[in-house]
Structure 1
Amino acid sequence: MSSATPDRIFGPVSVDGAAPSTAMLHGTTVALGTTAALIVGESGTGKSSLALQLLAFGAALVSDDQTVVTRRDDTLCASAPPAIAGRIEARGIGLLAAEPVSGVPIRLVIGMDTVEKDRLPPLYHCRILGVRLPLVHRVDATHFPAAILQYLRGGRSA
């Protein structure tokens, strides 16, 4: 099944048609091995909460709240701005320390502003710095963090 929705665009858009090579995005990024998930959404939508759950399941922190995204050919790599590297916010607890990883290729974008209602949703995509990436929407269910980790391990088959 193909998506009938247009690609969402995150980050700067070039006027002259050439995509910029670096952008600072309002988003949290976690990595599992050699791939990363970029979690985007408005403040208060649960980006850091999801990231903390993923960290508890074995993911590594790339960056919380702000992510530097750099295009290398057709790959986007995520890193933390130096001022916030190794820190993640836990509301009601404070800033927590976490060993950061850097320069990890982004495999998936998670949009926290939209709640997915379909049991088997269509394939969604977004564009960042001119690169097309798969996009999933937030799922309000306990399996969501585990499903994200499995997506990073094996991708989506349908």
Structure 2
Amino acid sequence: MTAISVHATAIAINYHGVLLVGPSGSGKSDLALRLIDRGAVLVSDDIVYVEQSEGKPLLRAAPNIEGRIELRGVGIIEVLHTKYAAMRMVAEMAPSYERIPPENLSTDIAGYSVPLVKIAALEASAPLKVEYALRSIVDADIWPMPLSHIRPNESPAT
């Protein structure tokens, strides 16, 4: 499978990749910076390549932006980074979201159905919410599923 590029930011928490998606100015880089401050590692900011590796989606940076993150009002800085991470979850920057979301929420990225959480990126608790959502996915051993393996009317989590 050829890599596709996604306008997003990607970080790795304990080697598990999280793709932060949303429009420009929605807080992706800000949330990534706060997660990095808590121990996450940058994969890529602004453009993320998603490719298949051993049947799983892999997140990686374009070589020209590797290790760099844009901080609005500050500029582009270099941070600790990793070349790639296996994608486990998508966090969508959302101005509002359901108090208790439906179970098994997912989104389609690069031919995979990927677990999804909606986050108000600029809330103080946003980094913790991303970490807890990822932990629940990892603890349940949920992985992105190729869309070609999902039959009509079948939930990705079944």
Q: Same fold (TM over 0.5)?
A: yes
Equivalent residues of 2:97, 2:119 under 8 A apart: no
Indicate conservation of the 8 Å contact 2:97/2:118, yes or no: no
How many residue pairs were aligned?
137
- Normalising by structure 1, what TM-score? 0.79
Name the CA distance, whole Å, in 2 between partners of 1:146 and 1:60. 15
Please name the residue that 1:106 is paired with. Answer: 87
Gapped regions of structure 1 (runs ≥ 5): 1-19
Q: How does 1:49-88 map to 2 (within 5 A)?
A: 49-88=30-69
* 1:1-158 equivalence runs, <5 A: 20-112=1-93, 114-123=94-103, 124-139=105-120, 141-155=123-137
1:117-157, Cα deviation, whole Å (9 max, x unpaired): 32211132111121110111123632111121233334287
Corresponding letter in the other structure for 1:146:
L
Q: Percent identity at matched positions?
A: 34
Question: Bigger shift: 128-137 or 80-89?
Answer: 128-137
- 2:28, 2:53 → 1: CA distance? 25
Structure 2 gaps, min length 5? 141-158
Structure 1 residue ranges (4+ consecutive) displaced by more than 3 angstroms after TM superposition: none
Distance (whole Å) between structure 2 residues aligned to residue 80 and residue 152 of structure 1: 21
